[in-house]
Amino acid sequence: MDSKRTTDRRTFLYTSGMAAGALALSLPVTSACRNTQKKDKLGIALVGLGYYSTDLLAPALQETQHAYLAGIVTGSPDKARKWQEQYQIPEKNVYSYETFDQIKDNPDIDVVYIVLPNSMHKEYTIRGAKAGKHVFCEKPMAVTAADCREMIDACKNNGVKLAIGYRMQHEPHTQQLMRFAEENTFGPIRMITAGAGWRWDNPGDHWKNKKSYGGGAMMDMGVYSLQAARYAMGEEPVAVAAQQYTRRPDVFSEVDEFTSFQLQFPGGALANLHTSLGVGMNYLQVNADNGWYRVDPFSAYNGISGESSNGPIAFEAGNQQARQMDDDCLAIINGQDLMVPGEEGLRDIRIVEAIRQSVAEGGRWIDLQG
């Protein structure tokens, strides 16, 4: 891909007023905000065309009602060409990381979806916000809580929305767990266990064990266990303790291969959680005064399945990523609150920082109420 030529072409199309192309505007522009035109569908540009974009998000965007794949941002001309062919993406909607900021001039793109290594979330979220685009950012939100705050501020200051791509809050079994907590279905919850992991052996997915890229088990999968405890409990934890270790020190010399961590909740529940890049596991168990429930797997891309002391927890799951993007786009279209805004991602990373502190300080309980 000749990015110079692409840029020129995009600029041309935009300035010649043809950019709305594939979009059917359902209503005249009613909002003062340049990205909240009342559309049926928002155009999403995927930023980073790795496995998750390729195998999950792009296919999901063929099923969405309120989102469509409008553009791509990639450093690979080969990938760009392939995607353009497969998804009929016009040249003007193809960006490199160098030309990314010019996306501000492209009205086809309402949302940039950041699907880059964790350490790059902050930069591209802020650049996307400055380009006036709503931002969907993959989990974990960023490497530090300070980074998360900068991202939230950037979106706020530029009048755009920020959603974190956790998926599960959009998934019906998970939504049922959240209702159980809210409605006290099984009485007070006392104990939550969750394990989330996979066996990372893949040299192609090269950054998972790199500290500088925000890798490690806690960052990659641990946030699912953490999220699970928080949404299953419906409360924010008040203290955390954590343990980390590495079974393959040659591979995991910079980051954790295994993390276990415990959360105390204000209502008196305890969560005992773990995560790993050494073994596949995916389960969530909740024990309450009047019963129990269990979802296994609980955060996989499909096959979510649950049972409880009251019987099965069974829903038509649908495509998780399609649900997520539809929910988020519809909320933006209707000017409603996002289900998983940046503040929710920040809550996790604050706890991840306390986990790092607990590990550094020999496993002691860290107060989260400060």
Q: Which residues of this chain interact with a second copy, rule CB under 8 A?
A: 190-191, 193, 195, 197, 199, 241, 243, 245, 247-248, 258, 260, 262, 264, 268-270, 272-274, 276, 278-281, 283, 285, 287-289, 292, 358, 361-365
Residue with Cβ nearer a second copy (204 or 362): 362
Buried b (16+ CB within 10 A) or exposed e, 158-180: bebbbbbbbbbbbbebbbbbbeb
Residue with Cβ nearer a second copy (13 or 366): 366
Residue with Cβ nearer a second copy (187 or 335): 187
Residue with Cβ nearer a second copy (280 or 312): 280
Smallest gap, in angstroms, from Cβ of residue 248 to a second copy?
8
CB 341 within 8 A of CB 162: yes
Provide the token pair at 361: 């300080």
Smallest gap, in angstroms, from Cβ of residue 70 to a second copy?
40
Smallest gap, in angstroms, from Cβ of residue 354 to a second copy?
13
**How does DSSP assign 229-243, residue by residue?**
HHHHHTS--SEEEEE
Smallest gap, in angstroms, from Cβ of residue 190 to a second copy?
3
C-alpha closest to that of 58 among 33, 79, 87: 87
Query: Could you give the residue numbers annotated as active site?
Result: 139, 224
Buried b (16+ CB within 10 A) or exposed e, 285-301: bbbbeeebbbbbbbbbb
Judge residue 237's burial from the number of C-beta atoms within 10 Å of its C-beta, 0-12 exposed, 13-18 middle, 19 or more buried.
buried
Beta-carbon contacts of 15 under 8 Å, excluding residues fewer than 6 positions away, are none
Smallest gap, in angstroms, from Cβ of residue 32 to a second copy?
50
> What whole-number distance in Å separates Cα of residue 247 and Cα of residue 216?
13
> What whole-number distance in Å separates Cα of residue 322 and Cα of residue 329?
10
Q: Which secondary-structure segment (H or E) carries 46?
A: strand 42-47
